[in-house]
Amino acid sequence: MADPVSLDRLPERQLADEKVEEYRGFYVELLGFVPPRIQARTELLARVDPELLAMQEEIRQHCMYPNCFDVKTAQLMLFGMLLVNLQDASRLHAIAAYRAGATFEELSAVVNLAFLFRGLSAANLGAEILQGIAKDVGKS
């Protein structure tokens, strides 16, 4: 959680801690942790616009878990979409795909598809991401 001292200029939370942790729990389930930007967004909106936070999380939940795709497939697609744009969040979706059962062969195939339309930048970033996941897996 964010350092409370750095948040002293913000309004008090309008949501119960349990509700904020419920929102963050989805990320822990998917990724194993709550990324810093998501911590920041949930903390800020819990204080200044809890209704928007609820709407964002409802839409995210609806879009990220469509009935027609399993979690692994959806996460592989998100990994590829973000990788083509060279977005750092592609790493998070690669982790989520891996945790949902994607193999390194499948993750690498997504990197190769991104390479076709984005070039070496996507291939390089994708390789770096996959090597980082492999390294992190070895630690656990």
pLDDT digits (tens, 9 = 90+) for 30-69: 999 999 999 999 999 999 999 999 999 999 999 999 999 9
The per-residue DSSP string of 77-90 comes to HHHHHHHHTT-THH
Residues 119 and 93 in one domain: yes
pLDDT for 7 equals 81
Structure tokens at 106: 């499948």
pTM of the model: 0.89
| 3, pLDDT greater than 90 | no
CB 47 within 8 A of CB 14: yes
Domain boundary among 17, 42, 64: 64
- pLDDT band for position 4 (50/70/90)? low
What is the mean predicted confidence (pLDDT) over 96-101? 98
Which structural domain, as residue segments, surrounds residue 17?
4-64
Number of domains composing the chain: 2
What is the mean predicted confidence (pLDDT) over 83-101? 98
Residues 9 and 59 in one domain: yes
Residues 76 and 135 in one domain: yes
| 70, pLDDT greater than 60 | yes
Residues 84 and 35 in one domain: no
